[in-house]
Chain A
Amino acid sequence: MNKVFNRIESITGNVITVKAEGVRYNELAQINTRFGKSLAQVNKIDGDIVSLQVFAGGQGVSTGDEVRFLGHEMRVSFSEDLLGRIFNGSGEPRDRGPALTDNMQSIGGPSVNPTKRILANRMMRTNIPMIDMFNTLVVSQKLPIFSISGEPYNQLLARIALQAEADVIVLGGMGLKYDDFLYFKEELSNGGALSKTVMFIHTASDPTVECMMIPDMSLAVAEQFALQNKDVLVLLTDMTNFADSMKEIAITQEQVPSNRGYPGDLYSQLASRYEKAVDFDSSGSVTVLAVTTMPGDDVTHPVPDNTGYITEGQYYLKGGRIEPFGSLSRLKQNVNGKTRKDHRALMDAMIRMYSSYKETIEKKNMGFAMTRWDEKLLRYGELFEDRLMDLSVNLTLEQSLDTGWQILAECFEKDETGIKSDLTEEFWPVN
């Protein structure tokens, strides 16, 4: 039996308190306001005073509104029917489809027993050379895309969603601009990937509390698919908005802030989401790619900083390209030794040359004379940026490697590359 209370004691921001008994921690309630129904979640109980965060926000909530406790936690329906659908942070449909209520699963469940995980060792192809060739994405990896606002991170995510070798894509949007939401919807349906995608979308104008639900909803669904032997790719954008929502709620509830206003448990909160990335020892996997915008391009800002300590490397999106220097996939060693035998050597050589190119550019800008070698490097850098780094380039790993050799051959002699001679003998283009 659901208990109904219609006396709200206080309303502060998105948090209301109600006098009630027998309420469970984290339980959901439904509140009927003059603007319609909204969910609310219990986040503190002190004797008979129960605090709830209202998903739709505190605006317009009246002290006389009716609060009905539902007796269960936040849940999400799980079945194949989810594929192709779009939901909001409360789990209600955002498309015209029906609401789903079968097979409800709790969100934010317990973490995986480390002894049931296996070592990440499968490559996830994306056909983006800067990822596949230079910082390979590995199944079950968790990687953020560090970016400044204004960079095309959502375009990058959409491309990865279309091209990645994953059985299921779960897209979680937090604080998304409405046009970005439309962009994702259009790209995925044009690319034919909508049928393997589930979207949980919170747009910038939606209530803050719903934003906090998005990662848990997305990851709970992903986990269920993974347990059905599927390789799931979860794309989250943007985790900084998620952290900011947590900050907002924490401050509203008068918690002591730790660093730049963020709550003290920011690390644990982010970690419990990212750690959902897993390769089960006899089932599917969850891989997480999450955009983290860096306010002011400052990597020491609490959100990117804490994220860096949690994730297994990062992609650094700068100037419309995935930067080869700031980016790092910590797990790439696990896979790039068994792709093609020239992969590692070519990757190292090309990055080394590119770093020499950067030095040459500096020299050139300072007005020093260019040697013949410098001229070669300049040409190399240009070709590299044009044929491999550009975000619109779409090549399989093998094609990227071949392109890499082609670029080297157009600029250098074999012995100038510093690559072992048995590899240059085999792979150097003939023309």
Chain B
Amino acid sequence: MTENKGKVVSINGNLVSVRFDGSVSMNEICYVNVDDKKLKSEVIRIRGDIAQIQVYEMTNGIKCGDDVDFTGDMLSAQLGPGLLGQVYDGLQNPLPVLAEQAGWFLERGIYADGLNAEKKWEFTPTAKVGDTLRAGEYFGTVPEGPFTHKIFVPFYLLGSYTIKSIAEKGEYTISETVAVLADERGREIPVSMSFKWPVKRAVKCYSERLAPVETMETKVRLIDSFFPVAKGGTYCTPGPFGAGKTVLQHTTSKYADVDIVIIAACGERAGEVVETLTEFPELTDPKTGRSLMERTIIICNTSSMPVASREASVYTSVTLAEYYRQMGLNVLLLADSTSRWAQALREMSGRLEEIPGEEAFPAYLESYIAAFYERAGYVRLPDGSKGSVTIGGTVSPAGGNFEEPVTQATLKVVGAFHGLSRERSDARKYPAIDPLISWSKYKTVTDPAKSAFCKNILLHGDEIGSMMKVVGEEGTSLEDYIVYLKSEMLDSVYLQQNSFDLIDANSMKERQRYVTDKLVCILGSDYTLEDKDGARSFFNRMRQKFIDWNYTEFMSDAFVKAEAEIDAMYADGQGKAGREAEKLLKDGE
């Protein structure tokens, strides 16, 4: 806290102008004193001796002349053991602690530390006196849930440091000094297990940034086999309301093959957060066998909470993600929804009377969105291990129209696009990702040639389908009609998935590869089918058998049995693999 003070000179919504003396830095945190409360705020523009600040709370009751205290610090997240399993608001206040202090409501001016200061952690030193370390390298570990939490030289320390002393193995709180470091001039710096990092700055304590090559399994077939996401990659999920964006993210947060999931509920419904809070502690993480909550952090700034902290919430969550990446873990950040964040920017921009861009969004919208997604990445750390931050953001375009600025700005910077469509969600198809508009630049878990083959059938089938709407079934040739039936079958047995069924919702890559081979064989074969009725009934029955197969556990007896039934049906239809399918299946072996 500096001694720097100021006085309020104007108030417009949550934008307050302050006349200050001394020096003030951009994005510095300050507190407005109203009655007996201090309201947290951030400097967002400085002109002469006037600083304009956005207040993270409701501004009722502020008057001209009220005192403002500047802190000299930027908005920071507290990093250290104890973050996992927490439920924070956008400013990293733990909501359960606020509930203890203030009861039902989120009263303004009440803040709490992000980490529990009393809790003791079992510290094990991994470096010894005399070792030289740099920021982002670790000197000790503590166990945190299923993970080994590394204790770092704080990221803000520049240059290299020698360990003067280090604590013995034992129990310490996060604020106790566990090591004393000396900088190049011999100045001693005591460090504890936690430190603060400004959320709007990316953590760059890695040796090198690598290309995201390893696929992150989401266990959603449509994503993994057709529009995959890579560890360290980025993807976005735009869709109109009711298309199932949140449901899709919710399932991803349960089944994704990563170590840690951070859920940023940014400007969305509180009820959805309550659902996660009720459900997650009951579920087990298949990887560790422990409660799913132990690998999850929820940052929740729901739609009725103040807009300025909504903007902060995405930065807070990505900072926590980067922190765990530094431990060599794979972290998935799910932001729902980035449009609400963009709207928060728009509201402030309007109050600042900036010249508006398209749909009144500020001109810097694109660069802000790009900077956020660029904080994802697959990196090699100083100790040689690798970690990743994957970012998946939903977008809520006005009127479901993807031409709007936020969707377009996002599409420019992400590596995969999962566009949800109203038609598919109205037809109760889950997931409602439209295979005809979506794309991905990452590697599929299945053989890319086979995925392309299947995608081709979908495209072709869709063309025939729209033609059939005009000329009717009678005007379509049997050959075309069969392609249409094949694409319909592919859609219902592979693209669609039952998110309520434990086995079907959790489709591993081995299974996806196995099933794709079978599909390539079935879809790439010619059959002796007399007429359209015969063809329809053949593929209907085949579809039913395939769906039953989806519900059996991989490689179980039931699985083998269901597969045998499909094979029998195939033989019954006198299926003969076409040239393309034969080649694909042969190459695969």
Interface residues of A (CB under 8 A from B): 21-27, 44-48, 73, 109-120, 140, 227, 255-259, 263-265, 267-268, 271-272, 274-276, 278, 280, 283, 300, 302, 305-306, 308-310, 312-313, 325, 328, 330-331
Segment of B4-12, B323-331, B475-483 engaged in the interface with chain A: B4-12
Q: Would you list which residues of chain B between 89 and 111 have a CB under 8 Å from chain A?
A: 95-96, 98-99, 102-108
Shortest CB-to-CB span from B103 to chain A, Å, is 8
- Can you name the residue of chain A whose Cβ is closest to the Cβ of B268? A309
The contact of A112 among B106, B278, B350, by CB within 8 Å, is B106
- Can you identify 5 A-B contacts, CB atoms within 8 angstroms? A26-B60, A257-B360, A267-B343, A268-B303, A312-B271
Q: In the complex, what distance in Å separates the CA atom of A25 from the CA atom of B63?
A: 6
Q: Would you list which residues of chain B between 79 and 134 have a CB under 8 Å from chain A?
A: 87, 95-96, 98-99, 102-108
Shortest CB-to-CB span from A364 to chain B, Å, is 16
Given A276-B304, A310-B303, verify A45-B399 contact (CB < 8 Å): no
Q: In the complex, what distance in Å separates the CA atom of A158 from the CA atom of B62?
A: 41
Q: In the complex, what distance in Å separates the CA atom of A267 from the CA atom of B274?
A: 21
Q: In the complex, what distance in Å separates the CA atom of A23 from the CA atom of B60?
A: 11
B contact residues around A45 at 8 Å (CB): 10-12, 63-64
The contact of B398 among A22, A109, A259, by CB within 8 Å, is A259
- Can you name the residue of chain A whose Cβ is closest to the Cβ of B346? A264
6 closest Cβ contacts across the A-B interface? A300-B399, A271-B303, A275-B304, A258-B360, A308-B241, A111-B304
The interface size of chain B toward A, counting residues with CB under 8 Å, comes to 60
Given A27-B61, A115-B87, A258-B360, verify A309-B104 contact (CB < 8 Å): no
The contact of B241 among A24, A113, A257, A305, by CB within 8 Å, is A305
B104 touches A268 (CB 8 A): no
Q: In the complex, what distance in Å separates the CA atom of A251 from the CA atom of B274?
A: 37
Tell whether B151 is near chain A: CB-to-CB under 8 Å. Answer: no
Q: How many residue pairs at the A-B interface have CB separations less than 8 Å?
A: 165
A114 touches B95 (CB 8 A): yes
Tell whether B198 is near chain A: CB-to-CB under 8 Å. Answer: no
B270 touches A275 (CB 8 A): yes
Tell me what chain B mostly uses at the interface: helix, strand, loop, or mixed: mixed
Q: A24-B60, A112-B270 are in contact. List 6 more A-B contacts (CB 8 A).
A: A110-B107, A255-B350, A256-B350, A265-B347, A267-B343, A275-B270
B271 touches A46 (CB 8 A): no
Q: In the complex, what distance in Å separates the CA atom of A263 from the CA atom of B351?
A: 11
A contact residues around B103 at 8 Å (CB): 113, 116
A268 touches B343 (CB 8 A): yes
- Can you name the residue of chain B whose Cβ is closest to the Cβ of A266? B343
Shortest CB-to-CB span from A321 to chain B, Å, is 19
B contact residues around A302 at 8 Å (CB): 398
B contact residues around A118 at 8 Å (CB): 274, 278
A275 touches B269 (CB 8 A): yes
**What string of 1s and 0s marks CB contacts (under 8 Å) between B1-42 and chain A?**
000000001111000000000000000000000000000000
- Can you name the residue of chain B whose Cβ is closest to the Cβ of A334? B275
- The interface centre, meaning the residue of A48, A268, A306 with most chain B CB atoms within 10 A of its CB, is A268
- Can you name the residue of chain B whose Cβ is closest to the Cβ of A302? B398
B106 touches A47 (CB 8 A): no
Q: In the complex, what distance in Å separates the CA atom of A192 from the CA atom of B201?
A: 62
Tell whether B58 is near chain A: CB-to-CB under 8 Å. Answer: yes
Tell whether B542 is near chain A: CB-to-CB under 8 Å. Answer: no
